[in-house]
Amino acid sequence: MSSEGMKSGWVTSLETSVLAVGGAMMTGDRFSDPTLAAMREHYAHCRTIGLVLHATHPEDRDEMEILLANAFQLLGDHAAYSAHRFSAAEAMRSLALVEGIFVGEARRLAYFVNCTRPVSWR
Protein backbone atom coordinates (compact mmCIF):
# COMPACT_ATOMS: atom_id res chain seq x y z
CA MET A 1 0.00 0.00 0.00
CA SER A 2 1.42 3.38 -0.95
CA SER A 3 1.86 6.05 1.70
CA GLU A 4 -0.43 8.27 -0.38
CA GLY A 5 -3.12 5.59 -0.22
CA MET A 6 -2.67 5.31 3.53
CA LYS A 7 -2.96 9.09 4.00
CA SER A 8 -6.11 9.28 1.89
CA GLY A 9 -7.98 6.98 4.23
CA TRP A 10 -9.02 4.79 1.28
CA VAL A 11 -7.57 1.62 2.73
CA THR A 12 -9.59 -1.55 2.98
CA SER A 13 -7.13 -4.21 4.02
CA LEU A 14 -3.61 -5.03 3.02
CA GLU A 15 -4.85 -8.55 2.25
CA THR A 16 -7.73 -7.49 -0.02
CA SER A 17 -7.44 -8.60 -3.64
CA VAL A 18 -8.27 -5.77 -6.05
CA LEU A 19 -8.70 -6.17 -9.79
CA ALA A 20 -9.40 -3.13 -11.99
CA VAL A 21 -10.83 -4.09 -15.36
CA GLY A 22 -11.63 -2.16 -18.50
CA GLY A 23 -12.73 -3.24 -21.92
CA ALA A 24 -15.00 -6.00 -23.20
CA MET A 25 -14.76 -8.76 -20.65
CA MET A 26 -18.33 -10.00 -20.50
CA THR A 27 -20.62 -11.96 -22.76
CA GLY A 28 -24.14 -11.40 -21.48
CA ASP A 29 -24.13 -12.19 -17.76
CA ARG A 30 -20.90 -14.20 -17.90
CA PHE A 31 -17.25 -13.33 -18.02
CA SER A 32 -15.95 -13.95 -21.54
CA ASP A 33 -13.88 -17.09 -22.12
CA PRO A 34 -10.49 -15.31 -22.52
CA THR A 35 -10.89 -13.74 -19.05
CA LEU A 36 -11.96 -16.83 -17.10
CA ALA A 37 -8.53 -18.21 -16.15
CA ALA A 38 -7.25 -14.86 -14.88
CA MET A 39 -10.48 -14.11 -13.03
CA ARG A 40 -10.58 -17.54 -11.36
CA GLU A 41 -6.94 -17.25 -10.31
CA HIS A 42 -7.30 -13.71 -9.02
CA TYR A 43 -10.45 -14.36 -6.97
CA ALA A 44 -9.68 -17.99 -5.99
CA HIS A 45 -9.56 -17.27 -2.26
CA CYS A 46 -12.35 -14.69 -2.16
CA ARG A 47 -15.83 -15.56 -0.96
CA THR A 48 -17.14 -11.99 -0.99
CA ILE A 49 -16.41 -9.38 -3.65
CA GLY A 50 -17.20 -5.68 -3.47
CA LEU A 51 -18.08 -4.07 -6.77
CA VAL A 52 -16.94 -0.49 -7.41
CA LEU A 53 -19.17 0.68 -10.25
CA HIS A 54 -18.78 4.44 -9.87
CA ALA A 55 -17.65 4.95 -13.48
CA THR A 56 -20.75 3.15 -14.76
CA HIS A 57 -23.64 5.49 -15.60
CA PRO A 58 -25.85 5.82 -12.49
CA GLU A 59 -28.92 4.54 -14.37
CA ASP A 60 -27.00 1.37 -15.33
CA ARG A 61 -25.45 0.48 -11.97
CA ASP A 62 -28.27 -1.71 -10.64
CA GLU A 63 -28.36 -3.76 -13.83
CA MET A 64 -24.55 -4.01 -13.93
CA GLU A 65 -24.53 -5.19 -10.31
CA ILE A 66 -26.97 -7.99 -11.21
CA LEU A 67 -24.91 -9.01 -14.25
CA LEU A 68 -21.65 -9.05 -12.29
CA ALA A 69 -23.20 -10.86 -9.31
CA ASN A 70 -24.38 -13.59 -11.71
CA ALA A 71 -20.99 -13.72 -13.43
CA PHE A 72 -19.15 -14.06 -10.10
CA GLN A 73 -21.61 -16.74 -8.95
CA LEU A 74 -20.89 -18.72 -12.12
CA LEU A 75 -17.14 -18.07 -11.85
CA GLY A 76 -16.78 -19.73 -8.48
CA ASP A 77 -19.76 -19.30 -6.17
CA HIS A 78 -18.68 -15.81 -5.06
CA ALA A 79 -21.08 -13.37 -3.43
CA ALA A 80 -20.73 -9.92 -5.04
CA TYR A 81 -22.46 -6.64 -4.22
CA SER A 82 -21.97 -3.04 -5.24
CA ALA A 83 -20.76 -0.20 -3.06
CA HIS A 84 -23.05 2.21 -4.95
CA ARG A 85 -25.96 1.13 -2.76
CA PHE A 86 -24.38 2.69 0.32
CA SER A 87 -23.48 6.15 1.56
CA ALA A 88 -19.79 6.99 1.18
CA ALA A 89 -19.01 6.02 4.79
CA GLU A 90 -21.05 2.80 4.59
CA ALA A 91 -19.40 1.92 1.26
CA MET A 92 -15.96 2.27 2.84
CA ARG A 93 -17.00 0.03 5.74
CA SER A 94 -18.52 -2.56 3.40
CA LEU A 95 -15.40 -2.63 1.19
CA ALA A 96 -13.26 -3.15 4.28
CA LEU A 97 -15.14 -6.39 4.96
CA VAL A 98 -14.85 -8.07 1.55
CA GLU A 99 -12.06 -10.35 0.45
CA GLY A 100 -11.88 -9.05 -3.11
CA ILE A 101 -12.73 -5.84 -4.93
CA PHE A 102 -13.71 -5.52 -8.58
CA VAL A 103 -13.41 -2.06 -10.17
CA GLY A 104 -15.57 -1.88 -13.28
CA GLU A 105 -14.96 0.48 -16.18
CA ALA A 106 -11.42 1.00 -14.87
CA ARG A 107 -10.24 2.87 -17.96
CA ARG A 108 -13.13 5.34 -17.70
CA LEU A 109 -12.61 5.68 -13.94
CA ALA A 110 -8.93 6.51 -14.47
CA TYR A 111 -9.96 9.13 -17.03
CA PHE A 112 -12.43 10.71 -14.54
CA VAL A 113 -9.82 10.77 -11.80
CA ASN A 114 -7.27 12.42 -14.09
CA CYS A 115 -9.83 14.99 -15.24
CA THR A 116 -10.61 16.04 -11.67
CA ARG A 117 -7.00 16.56 -10.60
CA PRO A 118 -5.74 20.14 -10.41
CA VAL A 119 -3.59 21.02 -13.39
CA SER A 120 -0.20 22.62 -12.88
CA TRP A 121 0.82 24.93 -15.76
CA ARG A 122 4.54 25.17 -14.92
List the chain domain ranges. 17-116
C-alpha 23/C-alpha 66 separation (Å) is 18
C-alpha 101/C-alpha 91 separation (Å) is 12
Q: pLDDT by residue (tens digit) across 30-60?
A: 888 888 888 898 889 899 999 988 778 889 8
Q: Is 30 helix (H, G, I), strand (E, B) or coil?
A: strand
Question: Is the predicted pLDDT of residue 21 greater than 70, yes or no?
Answer: no
Q: Is the full-model pTM beyond 0.85? A: no
Vertex 53, ends 49 and 58: CA angle to 5°? Answer: 140
Phi and psi at 57, nearest 5°, equal -55, 135
Of the candidates 88, 77, 82, the one whose C-alpha atom is nearest the C-alpha of residue 65 is 82
> What pLDDT shows up at residue 109?
52
What mean pLDDT value characterizes the chain? 77
